Amino acid sequence: MEQKTREEKLLFLRKTVRNIPDFPIPGIQFKDVTPLFKTKESLSTLTEVLLDDYRNKGITKVVGIESRGFIMGPIMALELGAGFVPIRKPGKLPAEVFEEEYSKEYGLDRIQIHKDSLSEDDIVLIHDDLLATGGTMFAAYNLVKRMNVKKIYINFIIELKDLKGRELFPENIDVDALIEFSI
C-alpha cells in the first residue's frame, strides 16, 4: 500500500470537511467536521496528522473544549499516553472549578475546569475543532495558564484565517491548525 505524504493527507481531510450554507444563520458558511469522524480512513488520518507535531513534546494532559473538543481530545490523549481533561459550560462539572468569562458574538459566556485537573508538572495540549474569532480558546488558555502548567500547546482541526483568532495568543504559544479556510 502506498504511503501518502502529509500534504496528500491534509488535502484528503480538507475535501472531507462539509460546507453547510446559511447555518446557523443566513450568510454563514458552516464548516462541518463531523464527516471527518465518519469513516475509519478519515478518522485515522485525522488522528495521525493531528498528532504528528506532538508525539515528542512530553504531553501529559490533553484538554478538550465542550463539545467538539471531546471527540478528538480523548483519542489524542490515548495516543499520546496522556490524560484527558474536559473544559465545560457552567454547572456541568461536579467538583470545585475555576471559571473564565469571555465575549461571544451575542454576549458573554463562561467555561469551567476542575481545580484539581492540572498541576505544575503538566505539559498541556488544548484542543478544539475550530478557530474562528478565538474567544472560547483564549478563555480555555487563560484557565489552563492560571494553573501554572509547564507548557501549553494549542491545536485545532480548522482555522478560519480571515477572523484572525490566532492574534489573541502570545507569540510564545504554539497555535496549530491542520486546515485553513477563508470565509
Please tell me the total number of residues recorded for the chain in this structure. 183
- Residue 101 catalytic? yes
Instruction: Based on the residue annotation, tell me whether 68 is a catalytic residue of this protein.
Output: yes
User: Ramachandran region of residue 139, left (φ > 0), alpha (ψ -120 to 50) or beta?
Assistant: alpha
Element (H, E) at 50: helix 40-51
Nearest to 178 by CA among 39, 26, 6, 29: 6
> Coil, helix or strand for 124?
strand
Q: Helix or strand or coil: residue 51?
A: helix
User: Per the residue annotation, which of 41, 55, 101, 146 is the catalytic one?
Assistant: 101
Active-site annotation holder among 14, 68, 110, 166: 68
Paired strand residues for 15: none
Catalytic annotation, residues: 68, 101
